[in-house]
Amino acid sequence: MNFRNKIKPVLLSVGIQVSLHNLLPVAWFLCLVPAFLFPSKLAAQSEDRKQEIITIQVSASVLQSLEVVTLQGMDFSELQADQRELNIDPVLSPRAGKMVAQGSPGSSFQVTWLRNREMVNIERTGLLGIRFDVAGNYLDEQDTAEVLEPDSREYQFNEEGQFYLWIGGLVNLEDATTGAYEGEFTLEVEYN
């Protein structure tokens, strides 16, 4: 008796199939549609919740390496023995040295230099004090150049990536001995 009760649902199920005999092809089709559609939809929803993807950009702006080229040295020629000082105006004097700094067009940079230096007499004992002055211009025009200060102010390269510098200074000749002198002028250009 118990065994009969257990198999009863199976027999009932067959009975329904037989009674719906003519509708079975349609029923199969209706069963097929959700069987194809729902699993994929459920899977998509599930994946949406289960994982998340983010794409992050990594970036770097690379500038041209900086270069400073000396176009013309300072002219200390033809100094007189009784001359007490020599002032080379970086804006007005044709004796001024000339340099060009080169970098990435339009980028900003700083210029620093050692203002006070000494030149050494290479023939006999003697030092010569000099205070350097620098003027700069993004145009290659000395007379419109701006006198620069060795501070943290920013300057900009022109569209060709150039910035012109004129080097002048005040040379104290009071204690100068005769002879040839040499020294260095150090100017540093760096991107901000």
Radius of gyration over alpha carbons of the chain, in Å? Answer: 44
Q: Which of residues 83-142 bind other proteins (CB under 8 A)?
A: 104, 107
Under the binding rule (CB under 8 A), the answer on residue 173 touching other proteins is no
* 10 counts as binding other proteins under rule CB under 8 A: no
Of the residues 35, 94, 125, 184, which one makes contact with other proteins according to CB under 8 A: 35
Q: Are 99 and 66 in contact (CB under 8 A)?
A: no
Which residue in the set 47, 123, 149, 160 belongs to the binding site for other proteins (CB under 8 A)? 47
What torsion, rounded to 10 degrees, do the Cα atoms 169, 173, 177, 178 define? 70
Our finding on whether 39 is near other proteins (CB under 8 A) is yes
Picking from 156, 183, 159, the residue whose alpha carbon sits closest to that of residue 171 is: 183
Q: Does 51 bind other proteins (CB under 8 A)?
A: yes
Region for 120 from its dihedrals, namely left if φ exceeds 0, alpha if ψ lies in -120 to 50, beta otherwise: beta
Q: Vertex 76, ends 189 and 131: CA angle to 5°?
A: 50
Candidates 12, 18, 33, 81: give the one binding other proteins (CB under 8 A): 18
Q: Which of 43, 71, 147, 180 binds other proteins (CB under 8 A)?
A: 43
Q: State CA 17 to chain mean position distance.
A: 77
Return residues touching other proteins (CB under 8 A). 17-18, 21, 24, 28, 31-32, 35-36, 39, 42-43, 46-47, 49-66, 104, 107, 190-192
